[in-house]
C-alpha cells in the first residue's frame, strides 16, 4: 500500500565499527544522540568489528555490501560513520553506496552550523567547515574541469578545481581576519574586567548536562536551552551579585563530548 512518509529529517543509516586493540572508542549512544540532534532520522544502526580500518573503504567488502543493501532497503539518503573518514574513503564509499556519506566530524560541524547564533560563532563554524571542505576538493567533476579558451585566453588557464581552491583560500583568509578583530575586542573587555577585579565563574562540562538551564535560573537570562547535544554554541556572560563576594561575571560555555 502506498503511503506518504511524514516530513522528517534525512533517513540515515548509522555505522559503528569496533577495532581490536583500540582502548579509546567512540560512544555509540552518544553517536545516536548526535544524529538526532542534527535532525537526522536513524533507520538502521549497523555495527561491526575489524582488526583495523580498510585503507580504501574503511570497512571490508562484505560489510560494505551489507551497508549498501540496507541503504536500498530503507531508501536511506545518508550514511553516517561514527569515525573520522579520509576524503578518499568518503569518495569511495559514496561511489558504492550511491548516497551521501558523512563522518563524525562532518556531523558535528553540521550541528554547529545549525546552532551558532552570534556573529563570531557563525564565523568560527564557517571557518571550520571551509577548512574541513578544503581537504575534500577533488577532481571528481570532469565536466567542470575544462580549460578556459578563446581569443586572448588560450593556454593552461585555471581549472574549476583550482578556481574552487582559490575561492576557498580567499574566504578562509577573510574570515580569519574578521575573527582576529573580534578577538581583540574580547581581549579589551577581558582586560577591563581584570582592572575592575571582578571574578569570573564559568560553567564547564559535558554538552546537555544542564549548564544553560542553571545559568538561566541564576541570572534570569534567556539563553537558549534544550534537551539536545550542543544546544549552546556561543558563550554568554552575565553579571551576578553574590552574597559576601560582591559582583561576579558568570559564563555559560560550550559543552564538550
> What pLDDT, on the 0 to 100 scale, is given for residue 218?
92
Is there a contact between 114 and 38 (Cβ–Cβ < 8 Å)?
A: yes
- Across the range 48-52, mean pLDDT stands at 90
- Across the range 225-230, mean pLDDT stands at 88
Cα→Cα distances 250→118, 198, 223, 229, Å: 18, 10, 13, 22
> What pLDDT, on the 0 to 100 scale, is given for residue 129?
87
Instruction: State the pLDDT confidence band at 83, using cuts at 50, 70 and 90.
Output: very high
Is there a contact between 71 and 59 (Cβ–Cβ < 8 Å)?
A: no
Indicate whether 66 pLDDT > 80: yes
Indicate whether 157 pLDDT > 80: no
Domain range summary for the chain, segments of one domain joined by +: 11-111, 118-136+158-196, 198-252
Q: Which CATH number fits domain 11-111: 3.40.50.2300, 3.40.50.300, 3.50.50.60, 3.40.50.11060?
A: 3.40.50.11060
Indicate whether 152 pLDDT > 50: no
pLDDT in tens, 232-247: 888 889 999 988 888 8
pLDDT in tens, 183-216: 888 888 778 777 878 888 999 999 999 999 999 9
Instruction: Count how many Cα atoms sit within 13 Å of the Cα of residue 156 in the half-sphere of its side chain.
Output: 2
- Burial zone of 233 (CB within 10 Å; 0-12 exposed, 13-18 middle, 19+ buried): buried
> What pLDDT, on the 0 to 100 scale, is given for residue 70?
96
Hey, which residues does 16 pair with through a beta bridge? Answer: 47
Q: Taking all residues of the chain, what is their mean pLDDT, rounded to a whole number?
A: 84
> What pLDDT, on the 0 to 100 scale, is given for residue 67?
97
Question: Pairing state of beta strands 246-252 and 11-19?
Answer: unpaired
Instruction: State the pLDDT confidence band at 7, using cuts at 50, 70 and 90.
Output: very low
Indicate whether 69 pLDDT > 90: yes
Indicate whether 149 pLDDT > 50: no
Instruction: State the pLDDT confidence band at 168, using cuts at 50, 70 and 90.
Output: confident
Question: Pairing state of beta strands 41-50 and 78-81?
Answer: unpaired
Handedness of CA 18, 23, 29, 35 (dihedral sign): negative
Indicate whether 171 pLDDT > 70: yes
Cβ contacts of 171-179, under 8 Å, gap ≥ 24: 171/130, 172/127, 172/130, 172/131, 172/134, 175/123, 175/126, 175/127, 175/130, 176/127, 178/123, 179/120, 179/123, 179/124, 179/127
Amino acid at each position: 500500500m502506498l503511503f506518504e512518509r511524514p516530513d522528517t529529517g534525512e533517513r540515515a543509516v548509522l555505522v559503528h565499527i569496533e577495532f581490536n586493540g583500540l582502548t579509546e572508542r567512540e560512544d555509540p549512544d552518544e553517536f545516536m544522540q548526535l544524529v538526532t540532534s542534527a535532525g537526522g532520522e536513524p533507520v538502521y544502526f549497523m555495527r561491526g568489528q575489524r582488526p583495523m580500518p580498510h585503507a580504501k573503504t574503511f570497512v571490508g567488502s562484505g560489510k560494505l555490501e551489507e551497508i549498501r543493501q540496507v541503504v536500498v532497503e530503507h531508501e536511506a539518503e545518508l550514511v553516517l560513520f561514527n569515525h573520522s573518514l579520509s576524503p578518499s574513503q568518503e569518495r569511495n564509499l559514496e561511489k558504492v553506496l550511491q548516497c551521501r556519506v558523512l563522518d563524525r566530524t562532518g556531523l558535528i560541524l553540521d550541528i554547529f552550523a545549525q546552532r551558532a547564533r552570534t556573529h563570531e560563532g557563525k564565523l568560527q563554524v564557517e571557518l571550520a567547515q571551509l577548512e574541513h571542505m578544503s581537504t575534500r576538493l577533488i577532481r571528481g567533476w570532469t565536466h567542470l574541469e575544462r580549460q578556459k579558451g578563446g581569443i586572448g585566453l588560450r593556454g593552461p588557464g585555471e581549472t574549476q578545481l583550482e578556481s574552487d581552491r582559490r575561492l576557498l583560500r580567499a574566504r578562509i583568509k577573510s574570515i580569519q581576519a574578521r575573527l582576529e578583530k573580534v578577538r581583540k575586542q574580547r581581549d579589551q573587555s577581558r582586560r577591563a574586567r581584570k582592572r575592575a577585579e571582578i571574578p569570573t565563574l564559568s560553567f564547564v562540562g559535558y554538552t546537555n548536562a544542564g549548564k544553560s538551564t542553571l545559568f538561566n535560573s541564576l541570572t534570569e537570562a534567556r539563553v537558549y536551552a534544550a534537551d539536545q547535544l550542543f544546544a549552546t554554541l556561543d558563550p554568554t556572560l552575565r553579571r551576578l551579585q553574590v552574597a559576601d563576594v560582591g559582583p561576579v561575571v558568570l559564563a555559560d560555555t560550550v559543552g564538550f563530548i
